[in-house]
Amino acid sequence: MRIPLPGMALPAFFTSPMDYRTLFISDLTSHVIYMIALCALAVGNRRVRGLRWFAACLLVDVLKVVMQSLRGFHPLPLTTFLAVFVGNELNDFSFIAMYLGYRWFLLRQPLGHQPLGQPALPRQPQRSRLGLGLLLGSMALYGVVLLLHTPWIFFFAILPVFVACVLSVVLLLRTPRGPFFVVSRVTAAIFGLQILVMAYRTVLITLDFSGPNIHAPMTDPRWLVSMMLLTMLDSCFVATFLWFYVVELQATLRHQARTDNLTGALNRRALDEEAEREISRCRRQGLPLSLIVLDIDHFKILNDARGHDAGDIALRSFVSLLSTKLRSQDWIGRSGGEEFMVLLPETPMSEALEVAERMRAATASHAVLYEGQPICITASLGVAVLKASQDSSDSWESLRRRGDLAMYTAKRHGRNCVVEQIEEAPVLLREPASVITFFQPEGLSSAAHCWSAGAALQPHGLPPASASQSRS
């Protein structure tokens, strides 16, 4: 006996003339169009791997619709069984591909650099493997239940989709504030509607269409309306696919506009913006802020002697090395040529000097291989601190000038040293190492001499840099 569900008095618009064949044709046509569009985007943007998962989701979904349509055209028992089983399994795979697509956008670091304006979510591979294992196990369980013709077949058929939806909602709701925050919340809401509609269909098939009424859903308008809602939600999911892709493009463009293409550090304009923002924040909160200005010693000699490719490799290695000495809230930018600036929010002068010395020592002991020969560089560093009082007229320009002056002083004192800039005069914190030498970084054998710009001066009889020499 059918148990009527309350509140389901449907207007005539929903009871005719729509039928399942019309719905399947409409659904199939829209999915083919979506699939072609997503596949074209995925082929043209191979770097964005999440698009591949979304295209695979739509491709599998098209196959699912085709398999489900076979039930009406080929009423043979075996064909019907295969259509039902394969169609449901393809539906499960489409939701798995959808989950993996969202996961790629949210859990990886865009462009292989720092996250674009948002922190990456903590990776939890064990939990992900557990979720995917639960999905595959529920799919296998459905096949066993279908073969045994046990009750609750529909529940076991829809269970993997429920699991995939819940995993996706958890993933999307864990997204921190950043470029993907809004689209993640909207997508999570769509998944919530998907779960509600699927739950309603599960209740409908369990209470109203069990026993002798097993084939009644095909003639019940409530079943057709719920299927129409699922079709509309499919279109909403496709819209989120495109939304994620647009956000990724915007983040990529923003990243390219803010960073130096060669080194990955912030460019001058982006560093100025972050510095002004950090100065305002530190002034409001009464926090210290320090600046380190770094310049690679004798970089022009390196370019002339080994070529610009060697110089480019040295610059990239230099920035990568410095990044390991910084916190997540620190900023490193390339102000031009071989000169870099490191902004240290909430850092007093004493701590900034320690950071600068670690950078200097790490640079002097580090070697990068180029054409089979290690290259060693040194750097001169100047440190300045912001006058943090709210009534102070100190600005980013004056802070930068003081850091530059300290760095120039380090150059005049023989390079490869750290200088603190104070009101009266720059103070040399460490006697410089001789520039006319072969540096021997840790980990290199005594026979593997490093090429260094300072050592390259010796064969030509050139003296070390003096106070009158221009910076190079």
Same domain, 138 and 32: yes
Are residues 59 and 263 in contact, defined by beta-carbon separation less than 8 angstroms? no
Q: If pLDDT is split at 50, 70 and 90, which confidence band does 214 have? A: very low
pLDDT at 296: 93
Whether 341 is covered by a domain: the verdict is yes
Q: How long a stretch of residues is the chain?
A: 472
What does the pLDDT look like over 449-462, one tens digit per residue?
455 555 554 443 33
Whether 284 is covered by a domain: the verdict is yes
Whether 469 is covered by a domain: the verdict is no
Whether 62 is covered by a domain: the verdict is yes
Q: Which segment of 5-19, 33-47, 172-186, 358-372 scores lowest on mean pLDDT?
A: 5-19
Same domain, 315 and 197: no
Sheet holding 451-452, edge to edge: 367-370, 373-376, 451-452
Interval 198-225 mean pLDDT:
68
379 by DSSP, 3-state: which? strand
Same domain, 286 and 351: yes
Same domain, 219 and 314: no
Q: Is the pLDDT at 14 greater than 60, yes or no?
A: no
What does the pLDDT look like over 261-307, one tens digit per residue?
899 899 999 999 999 999 988 888 888 999 999 999 988 888 888 88
Whether 2 is covered by a domain: the verdict is no
Q: Which of 239, 258, 277 is the endpoint of a domain?
A: 258
Q: Which segment of 141-145, 292-296, 357-361, 423-427 scores lowest on mean pLDDT?
A: 423-427
Whether 79 is covered by a domain: the verdict is yes
Same domain, 278 and 210: no
Q: If pLDDT is split at 50, 70 and 90, which confidence band does 123 have? A: very low
Identify the CATH number of the domain in which residue 401 sits.
Answer: 3.30.70.270
- Look up residue 108 and give its amino acid: R
Token digits of residue 193:
């509607």
Of the ranges 73-82, 108-117, 221-230, 321-330, the best mean pLDDT one: 321-330
Interval 50-66 mean pLDDT:
89
Same domain, 245 and 326: no
Interval 193-212 mean pLDDT:
77
How many structural domains compose the chain?
A: 2
Are residues 65 and 42 in contact, defined by beta-carbon separation less than 8 angstroms? no
Are residues 339 and 271 in contact, defined by beta-carbon separation less than 8 angstroms? no
pLDDT at 202: 82
Q: If pLDDT is split at 50, 70 and 90, which confidence band does 75 have? A: low
Q: If pLDDT is split at 50, 70 and 90, which confidence band does 439 have? A: very low
Q: Is the pLDDT at 425 greater than 90, yes or no?
A: no
Q: If pLDDT is split at 50, 70 and 90, which confidence band does 201 have? A: confident
pLDDT at 445: 38
Are residues 130 and 89 in contact, defined by beta-carbon separation less than 8 angstroms? no
Lookup result for tokens 């239940």:
145
Same domain, 210 and 334: no
Question: Residue 456 and residue 298: Cα distance in Å, rounded?
Answer: 10
Q: Closest by alpha carbon to 380, among 407, 404, 350?
A: 407
Same domain, 445 and 320: yes
The more confident residue out of 203 and 151 is: 203
Q: If pLDDT is split at 50, 70 and 90, which confidence band does 98 have? A: very high
pLDDT at 89: 77
pLDDT at 226: 85
Q: Which of 258, 284, 303 is the endpoint of a domain?
A: 258
Nearby residues of 121 by Cβ (< 8 Å), 6 or more positions away: 106, 107, 174, 175, 176
Q: How far is CA 464 from CA 120, 216, 297, 460, in A?
A: 46, 94, 11, 11
Q: Which of 211, 237, 258 is the endpoint of a domain?
A: 258
Q: Note the pTM of the prediction, 2 decimals.
A: 0.68
Range of the domain at 63: 12-258
pLDDT at 71: 61
pLDDT at 204: 80
Token digits of residue 198:
């699927």
Of the ranges 6-15, 197-206, 354-363, 393-402, the best mean pLDDT one: 354-363
Q: If pLDDT is split at 50, 70 and 90, which confidence band does 88 have? A: confident
The more confident residue out of 122 and 37 is: 37
Token digits of residue 382:
């100047």
Whether 55 is covered by a domain: the verdict is yes
Same domain, 249 and 272: no
Interval 430-446 mean pLDDT:
39
Same domain, 341 and 410: yes
Q: Which segment of 80-94, 275-289, 315-329 scores lowest on mean pLDDT?
A: 80-94
Same domain, 67 and 130: yes
Same domain, 317 and 388: yes
Whether 5 is covered by a domain: the verdict is no
